[in-house]
Structure 1
Amino acid sequence: MLAVRVPKCEAEKTRRKLVELGVLAKGYAVKREGEFILFPVTEPVEGFELVEAEFKKLERRPHSYREVVEVPEGIKPLLPSSFDIIGDIAIIELPEELMEYGRAIGEAILKVHRHIKAVFAKGSKVEGEYRVRELIHLAGENRTETLHRENGIRLRLDVAKVYFSPRLATERMRVFETAQPGEVVFDMFAGVGPYAVLLAKKAKLVFAVDLNPWAIKYLEENVRLNKARNVVPILGDVRKVAGKVTADRVIMNLPKFADRFLREAMLSVKDGGVIHYYGFGPEEDLYSEHEAKIKAVARELGFKVEFLDERRVRPYAPRQFNIAIDFRVLK
């Protein structure tokens, strides 16, 4: 096979040039010969030493579990195109027709994604006051505790005992980038601390509240794990904490019920402080209902609000979106 032969010190520069020219042969491993590197090419390249060489063909790894899963052809179109990865655990949502093939699907995910050690199917919707769901073990290790990394922090959690969505990582980083150094933050529904621990890098103090004892247990562990000593974990009903803290920034990550806690949020933010509110909205009118509720609560308290930003965070259901509204409270 035709090859370009260059000294090791020029290898990376040469590789980039061959890619740019579109002549680097794909699917072959480069070859080392003493102090030289050989690149397989599809045609002669001017300005380089050309030689004949044999190259080892690379085994193509599948990109998706759907390429290797063993299920009847007729149901392959039903296979989900995505799933959540939390640490080394995969959680997939399967339609009822696919549940009997759950083990095969789980094994295929493990085969393609070597870093995943356990696969579960969603057995119910997120429900209850602790916002957790039933999980059905499909393949791999039968454990639900893991260590998840995102945005430069580490979070230990049990996916069966606490609510956590890896799909909000970008939104959490957006809030972090919005925050100013030295702020006091009130995280009203903190979970295991993805907002609180991240914001602790900038904040003077973070009050992090959750009703779920397991969430607070893992939050306390994550505080230690990340040396976030300025996070104050609080177990209990956020209504009993609201008004006792005065924060520059309030996080309301409880999309289904956040509107019920607007009064508590506004009483806890300082004059001119910012609230990050989350909710669900229909595609045809994402924000109006939430804006109306925010304005109504502000009027009751004798406050004014200034809307700063509104955006879709992620799809939630057909034609439904998880939305975010940032607003300033003027007292």
Structure 2
Amino acid sequence: MLAVKVPKREAEKIRRRLIELGVLARGYVPKREGEFVLFPVTEPVEGFELVETDFERLERRPHSYREVVEVPDEVRPLLPSSFDIIGDIAIIELPEELMPYGEAIGGAILRVHRHIKAVFAKGSKVSGEYRVRELIHLAGESRTETIHRENGIRLKLDVAKVYFSPRLATERMRVFKKTQPGEVVFDMFAGVGPYAVLLAKKAKLVFACDINPWAIRYLEENIGLNKVNNVVPILGDVRKVAGKLEADRVIMNLPKFADRFLKEAMLSVRDGGVVHYYGFGPEENLFSEHEAKIKAVSKELGFKVEFLEERKVRPYAPRQFNIAIDFRVLK
């Protein structure tokens, strides 16, 4: 096979040049010979030393577990196209028809995604006061604790004991960019701290409340893990905290029930402060019901609200979306 022979010290620069010229042969492993590197090419290249040699072929790795998993043809169309990855743990939602093949599906995920060490299936919906779900072990290590990395921070958590969604990383960064240096933030439903720890990098002080003792335990660990000293963890019902502190920015990441805590949020934000409210809405009417509730509570308290931004965060169910509404409170 035709190849160019180049000095090892210039190999990377020349490799990029061959790609630009469109002559680097794909699917082969470059070869080293002493102080030289040989790159396979599809045609002669002027200005380079040309040689003939053999190259090893690159083994193509599958891109999806669905390429390698062995399940009957009649259920193959039911295989999910995606799943959540939290640290080195994968959590997949399987329809009932696929549960008998859970071990094979889990094994395929481990084979394709080498960094994943454990695979679980969702055994129930998120429920209860602590917002957790039952998990069914499919393959790999039988553990539920991991360290997840996102937005430049590390979060230690147990996926069976606390609520955490990796799909909100972009939304958390959006709020981080809006946060101003020196602000006081109140994270009403903090979990293990994905908002609180991130915002602590910019804010003056972050109050982080959660009713789940496991969440607060991991939040305390994550404060140390990320070397931030301006997060105040609060274990308990947020209703007992509201109004006892004043924040420039309030985060209400409890989309199923956030509307029940609007009064607490407005009592805790300073005049002119911003609330980040999350909810669920049908595709045909994403925001209006939530807007009405926000206006009703502000009127009850004698406040006014100014809507700043409304957006779809992510799909939640068929024709249903997780939505975000940012609004300013004027007292």
Q: Shared fold by TM > 0.5?
A: yes
Q: Does the residue aligned with 1:73 lie in a helix, a strand or coil?
A: coil
Q: What is the deviation of 1:281?
A: 0.6
> Is 1:301 the equivalent of 2:295?
no
Q: Does the residue aligned with 1:312 lie in a helix, a strand or coil?
A: strand
Q: What is the deviation of 1:128?
A: 0.7
What CA distance in whole angstroms lies between the structure 2 residues aligned with 1:327 and 1:175? 13
What CA distance in whole angstroms lies between the structure 1 residues aligned with 2:296 and 2:50? 76
What CA distance in whole angstroms lies between the structure 2 residues aligned with 1:59 and 1:14? 23
Q: Does the residue aligned with 1:229 lie in a helix, a strand or coil?
A: coil
What CA distance in whole angstroms lies between the structure 2 residues aligned with 1:298 and 1:11? 65
Residue type of the alignment partner of 1:243: G
What CA distance in whole angstroms lies between the structure 2 residues aligned with 1:134 and 1:13? 51
Q: What is the deviation of 1:313?
A: 0.6
Q: What is aligned with 2:318?
A: 318
What CA distance in whole angstroms lies between the structure 2 residues aligned with 1:86 and 1:319? 26
Deviations 1:19-76 (A, max 9, x none): 1222211111111122221111112222322211111111111111111111112211
Q: What is aligned with 2:17?
A: 17
Q: What is aligned with 1:252?
A: 252
Q: What is aligned with 1:237?
A: 237
Q: Does the residue aligned with 2:296 lie in a helix, a strand or coil?
A: helix
Q: What is the deviation of 1:285?
A: 1.3
Q: Does the residue aligned with 2:75 lie in a helix, a strand or coil?
A: helix
User: What is the count of residue pairs matched by the alignment?
Assistant: 331
What CA distance in whole angstroms lies between the structure 2 residues aligned with 1:53 and 1:274? 66
Residue type of the alignment partner of 2:28: Y
Q: What is aligned with 2:271?
A: 271
User: Which shifted more, 257-266 or 52-61?
Assistant: 52-61
Provide the TM-score with structure 1 as the length reference: 0.98
What CA distance in whole angstroms lies between the structure 1 residues aligned with 2:17 and 2:81? 35
What CA distance in whole angstroms lies between the structure 2 residues aligned with 1:103 and 1:185? 44
Q: What is the deviation of 1:295?
A: 1.0
Identity %: 86
Provide the TM-score with structure 2 as the length reference: 0.98
What CA distance in whole angstroms lies between the structure 1 residues aligned with 2:239 and 2:150? 30
What CA distance in whole angstroms lies between the structure 1 residues aligned with 2:220 and 2:189? 15
Q: What is the deviation of 1:225?
A: 1.1
Q: What is aligned with 2:26?
A: 26
Q: What is aligned with 2:222?
A: 222
Unaligned runs of 5+ in 2: none
> Is 1:134 the equivalent of 2:137?
no
Q: What is aligned with 1:204?
A: 204
- Cα RMSD of the aligned pairs, angstroms, is 0.9
Q: What is aligned with 2:48?
A: 48
Residue type of the alignment partner of 1:93: E
